[in-house]
């Protein structure tokens, strides 16, 4: 096993040479074998052990075992304890998910604060089978069937080619001590049920099951790479990135023979799970939305607009006093005196400063707001009608700010100036107001 691991590292993880490694060590057979192997290969290692306090005295027995092992072998050790059940309750997570969140957050913190390069975990081939079957039983996309990744950012899993039987044989041959987790004997968790009953049956039906499974996962990974390459090429034709916003052209999208698959590839990384709602959104009326925890997908005419969720309250007001020359929140606006109108546009206006009542107020538009658009000879128009005429998307309307003087609109910022503050023959003081993009 040692020679096989050495070759595996040389071929797939050569970057681990001469690095400082943190080994995630539970005290169980898998992690203790991993520690033994990497010490035999003369890597620079430290141990990282999490006490999740889920098994009472047994959890502290694991912690003491790791401490004694580290001390006896003069290996650096990092320990932490979590109130996992309280964390799971506070954040409405399952105990297993809560433990995973706590564990990996702490690992990454250690990498940064203690200046280690990678964290190694002892996931092996049987873990990959169990994960595959769990995901298969729950219904999953291709990424749920390709198994546990050998590397995910700074997390490396070097034992994935090895079976549980190989690890046990190595432990017995080298007289390695480990701790048994009593919860592994219970069928309370789906993984344990699969481990105790389904996997042994599959191996009994096909003695070469492990080899066949690894070949299948290799083929699935190759297929996933092809899918990802195709998704990238089509994305360039369908999507347009505008800052933090992505706009998908539905006319282009609907020409694809399997547009739902492309939407899944593009959107799953943003945390969306309501796929039926997303697929229905394509044919929905404008204004329909689907949300993930941090993003929203909005149908707007012939577009789907993906954007981060922001606080959309309309009650924020920003006051601008006389002689202020620049504001940076919520927009970048500059104010300066001018001798004449030179370059008026949607982003630059010139107003009669003597008509202004200070402080000016900058706030988001509200339903019912109206103004007198520049050039329309005093006719009043509601902002909602202006936005419709300008063909603004719902997202653009939601981000629209208005500059007020007393109870009159001076400027629908970046869109249209108000007629009442325009320059005329009697104007003595001209103020230039510019929106800096």
Q: Beta strands 430-435 and 333-338: pairing type?
A: antiparallel
Buried b (16+ CB within 10 A) or exposed e, 310-335: eeeeeeeebebeeeeeebeeebebeb
- Residue 406 CB coordination number (10 Å): 11
Residue 346 is predicted with a pLDDT of: 82
* Secondary structure class of 407 (helix, strand, coil): coil
Residue 116 is predicted with a pLDDT of: 95
Does the annotation place 31 within a ligand binding site? yes
C-alpha 213/C-alpha 148 separation (Å) is 13
Residue 288 and residue 304 in contact, taking contact as beta carbons nearer than 8 Å? no
* Secondary structure class of 201 (helix, strand, coil): helix
Residue 401 and residue 363 in contact, taking contact as beta carbons nearer than 8 Å? yes
Size (the chain), residues: 437
Residue 405 and residue 359 in contact, taking contact as beta carbons nearer than 8 Å? no
State both tokens at 404.
């007020």
> What residue has token string 């204004």?
287
Residue 315 is predicted with a pLDDT of: 66
Q: Which backbone phi and psi does 337 adopt, to 5 degrees?
A: -75, 150
Does the annotation place 29 within a ligand binding site? yes
* Secondary structure class of 149 (helix, strand, coil): coil
> What residue has token string 């005419």?
301
C-alpha 122/C-alpha 26 separation (Å) is 9
State both tokens at 66.
């790791």
Residue 166 is predicted with a pLDDT of: 95
State both tokens at 55.
């098994």
DSSP letters along 352-396, please? EGGG--SSEEEEE--TT-EE-BTTSTT--EEHHHHHHHTT--HHH
- pLDDT, one tens digit per residue, over 46-105 is 999 999 999 889 999 999 999 999 999 999 999 999 999 998 888 888 888 889 999 999
* Secondary structure class of 336 (helix, strand, coil): strand
**In the beta sheet, which residues pair with residue 333?**
327, 435
For the sheet containing 408-412, what is the strand order? 317-320, 360-364, 401-405, 408-412, 416-417
- Residue 25 CB coordination number (10 Å): 28
Does the annotation place 27 within a ligand binding site? yes
Residue 273 is predicted with a pLDDT of: 86
Q: For the chain, which ranges sit under pLDDT 50?
A: none
Burial class of residue 11, CB neighbours in 10 A (0-12, 13-18, 19+)? exposed
- Residue 277 CB coordination number (10 Å): 15
C-alpha 435/C-alpha 437 separation (Å) is 6
């Amino acid at each position: 096993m040692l020679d096989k691991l050495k070759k595996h590292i040389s071929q797939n993880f050569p970057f681990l040479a001469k690095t400082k490694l943190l080994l995630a060590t539970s005290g169980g057979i898998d992690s203790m074998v991993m520690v033994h192997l990497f010490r035999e290969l003369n890597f620079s290692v430290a141990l990282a052990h999490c006490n999740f306090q889920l098994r009472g005295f047994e959890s502290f027995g694991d912690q003491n075992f790791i401490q004694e092992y580290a001390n006896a072998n003069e290996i650096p050790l990092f320990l932490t304890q979590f109130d996992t059940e309280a964390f799971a309750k506070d954040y409405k997570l399952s105990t297993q998910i809560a433990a995973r969140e706590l564990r990996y957050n702490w690992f990454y913190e250690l990498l940064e604060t203690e200046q280690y390069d990678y964290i190694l975990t002892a996931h092996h081939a049987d873990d990959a089978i169990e994960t595959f079957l769990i995901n298969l039983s729950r219904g999953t996309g291709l990424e749920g069937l390709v198994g546990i990744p050998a590397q995910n950012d700074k997390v490396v899993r070097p034992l994935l080619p090895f079976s549980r039987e190989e690890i046990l044989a190595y432990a017995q041959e080298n007289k390695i001590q480990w701790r048994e987790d009593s919860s592994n004997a219970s069928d309370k968790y789906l993984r344990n049920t699969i481990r105790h009953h389904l996997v042994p049956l599959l191996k009994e039906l096909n003695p070469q099951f492990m080899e066949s499974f690894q070949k299948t996962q290799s083929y699935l990974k190759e297929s996933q790479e092809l899918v990802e390459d195709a998704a990238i090429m089509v994305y360039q034709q369908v999507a347009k990135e505008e800052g933090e916003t992505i706009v998908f052209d539905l006319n282009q999208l609907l020409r694809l023979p399997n547009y739902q698959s492309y939407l899944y590839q593009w959107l799953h990384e943003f945390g969306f799970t309501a796929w039926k709602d997303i697929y229905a959104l394509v044919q929905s009326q404008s204004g329909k939305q689907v949300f993930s925890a941090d993003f929203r997908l909005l149908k707007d005419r012939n577009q789907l607009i993906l954007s981060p969720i922001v606080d959309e309250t309309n009650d924020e007001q920003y006051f601008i006093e006389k002689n202020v020359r620049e504001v940076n929140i919520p927009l970048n606006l500059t104010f300066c005196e001018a001798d004449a109108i030179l370059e008026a546009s949607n982003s630059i206006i010139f107003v009669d400063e003597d008509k202004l009542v200070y402080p000016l107020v900058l706030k988001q538009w509200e339903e019912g707001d109206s103004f007198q658009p520049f050039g329309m000879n005093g006719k009043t128009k509601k902002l909602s009608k202006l936005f419709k005429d300008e063909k603004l998307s719902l997202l653009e309307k939601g981000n629209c700010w208005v500059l007020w003087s007393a109870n009159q609109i001076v400027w629908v910022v970046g869109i249209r100036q108000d007629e009442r503050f325009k320059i005329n023959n009697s104007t003595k003081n001209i103020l230039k107001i510019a929106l800096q993009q």
